[in-house]
A = this chain, B = another copy of it.
């Protein structure tokens, strides 16, 4: 039976040219983040199914690739199986993000880590999403997280580092902007507007669509769900009165009589002020009271970077102060920012971005039948060139040498040297 040539659905093979650009871009991200003192670390791509399905991951939990138990543990599950309990067959799965495994990692290794711990992760995550253009089932995320700092110095550093990485990646020409909000502002607004607090999640799901359906769309949908005009109008009035500037969110904290909003608004304004106080870099940051972010685990500040011309979010993050506590019984403040590497890669590569050539590329083409000793001498010559920092590609001389040389030239081998038996 012939084997299957295509990659599994939704995943892909990465060709050399693409790989070169990917490694170049990841190198830039790594360099910037390292300069901020973030330490690279790694978790396994396989995670306990109990952790993956612990209601931290929102909709991503529906997209888990589950791994089957093995050996006796598998066959021992036959009874459950006969009752249609497929869950009994699985003990682990592929991680859907880098945050949940990081929380487990911190809980497991706390004593050996610096405080605060500044983590850098670049790795594959997996989601069995409906296959569609530009969406993959295995994709790379580049995350930085600060664990153990309860103050917003952590948010400030994450925003500085991530925007610097974007700038170094060459994303400035596409115009990117940081949007910030706080979960507590969202909860507070819903309450102050008079909605039933138990409906908060439902209402936030509607608010999250503001980007796509506009303010009128949000209001209509809320009304169609049966909420009072007065609640909808109050929410609309808050959303329209306070937005964009640090002054505006600070004013929100002064005007609205809700403890959560007061604390969160001051916090957001303070973050924006420090970022704005940077003279050497102009970072576009804006308060967006409609920013929601889907993940269940966020507890405070949330943020996103959008590239206007592509209308899409390229980075996202926020504070998740309670997740580590689920592992250890004791909360550890935590906040993270994730670069959606595939999105950035697509923007840059479709715009013709290429990895700079780092070494001179030389091709040695050798007439067939060269004797071993003479070949040894040619190897020696190649070694000298490599020693000098060049890249040497070796191949037999093809029958159609012209065609071979054209092929090599198209791969950047313009210096082609020929070796004959003579």
A75 and B86 form a contact (CB under 8 A): yes
Task: Tell me which residues from 25 to 50 in chain A have a Cβ below 8 Å from any Cβ of chain B.
Answer: 34-37, 39-48, 50
A19 and B42 form a contact (CB under 8 A): yes
B118 and A393 form a contact (CB under 8 A): yes
A40 and B68 form a contact (CB under 8 A): no
Chain B nearest CB, measured from A59 CB (Å) = 14
Are A395 and B116 also in contact (CB < 8 A) when A67-B66, A359-B35, A379-B278 are?
Answer: yes
- A113: chain B residues at CB < 8 Å are 15-16
How far is B86's CA from A42's CA once the two chains are assembled, in angstroms? Answer: 32
Name the interface size band of chain A: 35 or more
- A12: chain B residues at CB < 8 Å are 44
Chain B nearest CB, measured from A36 CB (Å) = 7
A225 within 8 Å of B (CB atoms): no
User: This chain: how many copies in the complex?
Assistant: 2
- A394: chain B residues at CB < 8 Å are 36-37, 153, 157
Q: Name the residue on B nearest A123 (C-beta).
A: B124
Contact digits for A374-397, partner B, Cβ 8 Å, 1 yes 0 no: 011101100110100011111110
How far is B126's CA from A44's CA once the two chains are assembled, in angstroms? Answer: 10
A372 within 8 Å of B (CB atoms): yes
**Interface SS, A side:** mixed
| Residue among A23, A40, A329, A377 having the largest count of chain B Cβ atoms under 10 Å | A40
Are A46 and B16 also in contact (CB < 8 A) when A68-B66, A376-B274 are?
Answer: no
How far is B280's CA from A292's CA once the two chains are assembled, in angstroms? Answer: 63
Are A70 and B386 also in contact (CB < 8 A) when A43-B7, A377-B277 are?
Answer: no
B153 and A366 form a contact (CB under 8 A): yes
Q: Name the residue on B nearest A364 (C-beta).
A: B37
Contact digits for A100-113, partner B, Cβ 8 Å, 1 yes 0 no: 00011101110011
Contact digits for A124-166, partner B, Cβ 8 Å, 1 yes 0 no: 1010100000000110000000000101010011001000000
How far is B411's CA from A380's CA once the two chains are assembled, in angstroms? Answer: 42
Chain B nearest CB, measured from A281 CB (Å) = 7
Task: Tell me which residues from 269 to 316 in chain A have a Cβ below 8 Å from any Cβ of chain B.
Answer: 270, 273-281
Q: List 14 A-B contacts (CB under 8 A).
A: A2-B327, A3-B50, A7-B108, A13-B43, A13-B44, A13-B109, A35-B391, A46-B138, A67-B68, A75-B84, A153-B395, A276-B376, A277-B379, A278-B376
Closest 3 CB pairs of A and B: A277-B376, A37-B393, A16-B39
